[in-house]
Amino acid sequence: MHIGVPKEIKNHEYRVGLTPESVRELVRQGHQVFVEHDAGTAIGYNDALYRQAGAELVTVEEVFAQADLLVKVKEPQAEERARLRPGQILFTYLHLAPDRAQAEDLLSSGAICIAYETVTDAHGRLPLLAPMSEVAGRMAIQAGAGCLEKAKGGRGVLLGGVPGVPRGKVVILGGGVVGSNALAMAVGLGADVTVLDKNPDALRRLDAQYGNRVSTLYSTGVTLEEQLLGADLVIGAVLVPGATAPKLISAEMVARMQSGAVLVDVAIDQGGCAETSSPTTHDQPTYVVDEVVHYCVANMPGAVARTSTQALNNATLPFVLALANKGVKQALSEDPHLAQGLNLSGGILCNSEVAEALGLPSQSLSEVIGELPG
């Protein structure tokens, strides 16, 4: 199969879809890989390394023209979507639920679009989202701690405090992968940490791990509001796979938070968990609403692009190999977990959560897979 790796063009996005090591494995198994010039140079993967791995270095136009399978990191930007063709396979993060323009362009392209974030495993987890969620969760505390500095609009609070001075209060909404990793970092800094979740098993797991070093609370409207009003730093770490994130934090709640408090909304890729959240970039990561600093960067792991690329490739390569070795129809038919990643194909939506969020019609996954070219 011809596999293409374009250079990412989203703001400050330095990750790359395939590392030279992944390229070498694909070439070893008989595939031809086309990599755009300088696709990985920013993170130390120069063109020479890709050539040594067996890739052909080409222009972006040639990548899209030659590839049967495109492997990316972030959702295709408008100019990339315009290059897609019917039957071409796109394997990347999509996050379609809050992005109608992207969904409509992808439907019009006729491409076969498989989203990392909806691929599942035997336990119902999201194995291709997990590594970036781990990175984002850990980064959320780093970013939030920086935003709390007075010069950056924050309350001027040091999360770990010092002897004789209270520690900063961190409230984490969600005890999943993002929340657990944010919790580990916050505890490591010595913060006063509370995590809220509606899953008692998640709360038990965190309580067993951390004991009295953290507080765990079942999330209700009352407990959420009480915790928000006393927080120095709030981490939004909620996720409904494929769907728009629930708006847990109302604008009225934000208006009542402490002046200089910080909200890091990691759920922004899926629309954000606060009514006041809007996507930001690494160039301008924050804005202020009612004296609350909002950090809503939609590609947080891109800031640590080398680590993120390596972690992502560890998770995606087996699926890339399956698609390349078997072809898309056989790969999806044989692996129901990979099949869950198929969001749309040939102008038809087949992810019900995305369809519901966008108010668009959809067909069943099995019907759409059945119509794929053999």
Which of 31, 68, 95, 99 is an active site residue? Answer: 95
What does DSSP assign to residue 281?
-
The 10 Å Cβ neighbour count of residue 5 is 27
Question: Catalytic: 269?
Answer: yes
Reading the block at residue 93, the tokens are: 């993060």
CB-CB contact of 227 with 197 (8 Å): no
Question: Catalytic: 2?
Answer: no
Nearest to 234 by CA among 204, 257, 217, 213: 257
The CA distances from residue 291 to 36, 107, 225, 279, 283, in Å, are 44, 40, 17, 18, 21
Which of 99, 192, 269, 335 is an active site residue? Answer: 269
| Cα 10–chain centre separation | 14
Query: How far apart, in whole angstroms, are the C-alpha atoms of residue 159 and residue 168?
Result: 4
* DSSP three-state, residue 36: strand
Query: How far apart, in whole angstroms, are the C-alpha atoms of residue 190 and residue 188?
Result: 5
Find the radius of gyration of the CA atoms of the chain: 21
Pairing type for strands 2-5 and 286-289 reads: unpaired
Reading the block at residue 240, the tokens are: 């409904």
Mind telling me the catalytic residues? Answer: 95, 269
